[in-house]
């Protein structure tokens, strides 16, 4: 009950202040407030914003390249493992011309 009464009093006080407030200088206040920061400072902030956007683009592209590089490294590792399994397979010794001998010939001609 007491809380409700104090809340009503506060509401009435706010209404009284709002009704008795002189708003004739509001427009001038907000116009002056809009020009607190000098134009030269705004140009610096605009240049900084532009540079930060470019830097963000560079970092985004770099992140994409890093993820592509890691995917390629993983594929490269998998391919090396498959090649190693293929070259060391027992079936290669049973062939007339094993792939390892063909590779030695190809590398020798280079």
Per-residue pLDDT tens for 2-35?
666 666 766 666 665 555 666 778 888 888 888 8
Tokens of 82: 């498959």
pLDDT in tens, 46-55: 999 999 999 9
Q: Is residue 77 part of a domain?
A: yes
Q: Is residue 99 part of a domain?
A: no
| Sequence-ordered strand ranges (E) for the chain | none
Q: Is residue 74 part of a domain?
A: yes
Residue with tokens 């493992």: 81
Tokens of 54: 């470019």
Model confidence pTM above 0.85: no
78-84 mean pLDDT: 93
Could you list the residue range(s) of the whole structural domain that residue 82 is in?
52-88
């Amino acid at each position: 009950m007491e809380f409700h009464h104090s809340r009503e009093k506060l509401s009435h006080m706010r209404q009284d202040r709002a009704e008795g407030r002189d708003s004739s200088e509001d427009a001038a206040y907000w116009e002056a407030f809009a020009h607190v920061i000098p134009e030269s400072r705004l140009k610096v902030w605009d240049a900084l914003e532009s540079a930060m956007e470019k830097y963000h683009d560079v970092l985004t592209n770099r992140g994409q390249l890093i993820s592509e590089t890691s995917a390629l490294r993983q594929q490269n590792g998998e391919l090396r493992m498959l090649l190693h399994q293929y070259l060391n397979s027992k079936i290669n010794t049973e062939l007339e011309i094993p792939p390892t001998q063909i590779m030695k010939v190809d590398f020798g001609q280079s």
